Amino acid sequence: MDDTVILKSDPACWLWLVGVFGAANPRLWKLGQKFPTAEEYAYELRKGNFPDLNDAERRQIKNRSFSQSREILDHCRENNITVLCYDEEDYPRRLKNLSAPPALLFVKGRSDVLGGAPTAAVIGTRKPSEYSEEITDMICKGLCEKGMAVATGIAGGIDQTANLSAISGGGLTIGVCGKQIDSDYPAGSAELKAQIAANGALVSETCLELDRGTPMFTNRNRILVGLSDVVIFVECSSESRGLDNADHALSQGKPIFVVPPADLRMKRYSGQVSLLRKGCRPLFSADDVAYFLASQRPEDLFYEKRGDAFASVEDSSAFPDEEKPEKPEKQEKPKRQTGSSRTAKRSTEKTVAERRGGLSPAAVTALRSEDVRGDAARKLLSGSANIDEIAAALGKDIMTVQALLTDLELDGAIVSLPGMRYELNRE
């Protein structure tokens, strides 16, 4: 062992600790929980003041030096690999909530992507069906259009499709490696990894100079889920190892979305069926994910029916608000002074609708056929109304009104908003 003095912020301390215990070993945190800094922890380990150390750990403490750690740091700098330590400001806050967070993160590309934009982890088989590949491409490009990032576990099949779709869609993508960041695993993935690093971030909790162990898929998956806001299953059988991501999502409190299977009779989709039976959310498009995130964070996000756009009340929104083109103001039509009261009422409603952009023919027909009255009618025409208000106006029970609203939404006459509210479709 060398006796070089280690400065408080020196990442060589964290590298040395990971070298002693191994990446993703919870003992690193269990034995060091009483130490405020990595330096103090490493110093006490070097002194041997731990009666609970096993033989393998004692050998590593004896054989590893801080000069070796500095050589690893030099290797990373030479290969454009950023090393993020747990106590650094740039370390992703999302991972700090894990029971055993990575002590180190090795990153190629933009480390600021980790924990930045809302992120969806996309999970699927390495041998997907054509249906699943097409759905993955559609969803990932849709997510990127909403300003979200796509994360995968850097395997073949769905992972590769998701990464490439995000890149071709002009979005950000994150790849979490199951082995060392600079290893050729999966074999022949160097080009894909380079593309991911150029359009987002490639992540691992180890590198070749530090560890040459076997792949750690379960440990990788805890990071993949940890960096994400939601988890999406595109295709998996009931025997799929990827279902481990569902366990991590449940333990971390992350919502799970599932693409409905193309064929309920096929075993390759049995994992999706199981997840849907257990109450996971069905996913039909990227809008489902974006809508969910917007409705779950009302303090800084809102949903606005403007071409299915998701916008923020602040410029710092994760869902950027596109600039609305100015429209010429429409002149208000005068109310009719003659005719029946029903004709006059419809004229008034039409005037309000035109000031707000006009109603589709289907919306007008649906509204009139149900004879919506009073406040609910005015709210639907000038803004939105909740299901209770609509039920009261129609004089019908909630279940009947819910079925009606579902039919109207499928017909494109109305759109649903958070909080069981509805408004007329103005497209």
74 and 125 housed in the same domain: no
169 and 127 housed in the same domain: yes
69 and 113 housed in the same domain: no
275 and 188 housed in the same domain: yes
DSSP string of 33-83?
TT-SSHHHHHHHHHHT--TT--HHHHHHHHH--HHHHHHHHHHHHHTT-EE
143 and 38 housed in the same domain: no
Q: What angle (nearest 5°) sits at the alpha carbon of residue 152, between those of residues 151 and 156?
A: 150
Model pLDDT, residue 384:
74
Residue 103 lies in a domain: no
- Per-residue model confidence as pLDDT tens digits over 330-375: 555 444 444 444 444 444 333 333 333 333 444 445 554 544 444 5
How many structural domains are present in the chain? 3
Model pLDDT, residue 327:
47
Is 124 in a helix, a strand, or coil?
strand
Residue 183 lies in a domain: yes
Residue 194 lies in a domain: yes
Residue 300 lies in a domain: no
Residue 387 lies in a domain: yes
pTM here? 0.69
Gap between the Cα atoms of 342 and 142, Å rounded: 44
Instruction: Print the domain residue range for 178.
Output: 108-295
Model pLDDT, residue 346:
41
69 and 118 housed in the same domain: no
Q: Above 90 in pLDDT, residue 319?
A: no
Residue 420 or 223, more confident: 223
Residue 124 or 352, more confident: 124
Is 29 in a helix, a strand, or coil?
helix
Q: What angle (nearest 5°) sits at the alpha carbon of residue 236, between those of residues 230 and 241?
A: 85
Mean pLDDT of 215-219: 84
Mean pLDDT of 380-395: 69
- Per-residue model confidence as pLDDT tens digits over 127-181: 999 999 999 999 999 999 999 999 999 998 999 999 999 999 999 999 999 999 9
